[in-house]
Amino acid sequence: MTVLKNFPDLETDRLILRNIGREDIDFIYRLFSNEKVCEFLYDEELFTTKNEAAEFVDWNSEPERKGYNRWILVTKDNDHQQIGTCGYDCWDRANNIAEIGYDLWYEYWGQGYMKEALISAIKSGFDNMKLNRINAYVALGNVNSIKLLEKLGFKKEGIYREKHLFRGKYYDHYSFSLLKSDWNRC
């Protein structure tokens, strides 16, 4: 088994964050074909086939080589449920910046799972990837995600105008960032 230096599997009190694999295709399809989960995800259409989920899994495989990843969030309780994902993209190694993204099955919203996962992912980004800055972009109407980022110490920097073209309409997003120096103070 290969040990991942930049994107290791992570563990929190209630979750295991493991890198995505072919065994996750069914879950990824269920997650990204659900309208409620994807309400504010304007960067891609809902999945309509398992092949699209397989392509997502393949895209996020080999994180060490590609420089981006997606962790599957799995509960540590007896059920070992896959409940969401999070991970890094757009890694600018020269400037130590990456973008974090995340999503959670709606039955687990408001229970602190994503906060727990992101704390671990952020720590890993700063420690393992040697990031200095983590970016996050959130659709203007996604109030819960905005609140979560603010609780984690992210600063709202402004509006990224017309970030995504989705179904014939452009959508603005808030631009957030978290600096390592800010995180170290938390």
CATH number, domain with residue 112: 3.40.630.30
Mean pLDDT along residues 149-170: 92
Q: In the predicted model, is pLDDT for residue 1 greater than 80?
A: no
pLDDT of residue 183: 92
Q: In the predicted model, is pLDDT for residue 186 greater than 70?
A: no
- Gyration radius of the chain's alpha carbons: 16
Assigned domain for 5 exists: no
Assigned domain for 169 exists: yes
Distance separating alpha carbons of residues 164 and 151, to the nearest angstrom:
25
Backbone phi and psi for residue 171, each to the nearest 5 degrees, phi listed first = -120, 130
Assigned domain for 60 exists: yes
Sign of torsion over alpha carbons 94, 140, 178, 182: positive
Assigned domain for 3 exists: no
pLDDT of residue 166: 85
Count of domains for the chain: 1
Q: In the predicted model, is pLDDT for residue 86 greater than 70?
A: yes
Range of the domain at 105: 10-185
Share of the chain above pLDDT 90, in %: 87
pLDDT of residue 17: 98
Distance separating alpha carbons of residues 31 and 37, to the nearest angstrom:
7
pLDDT of residue 107: 96
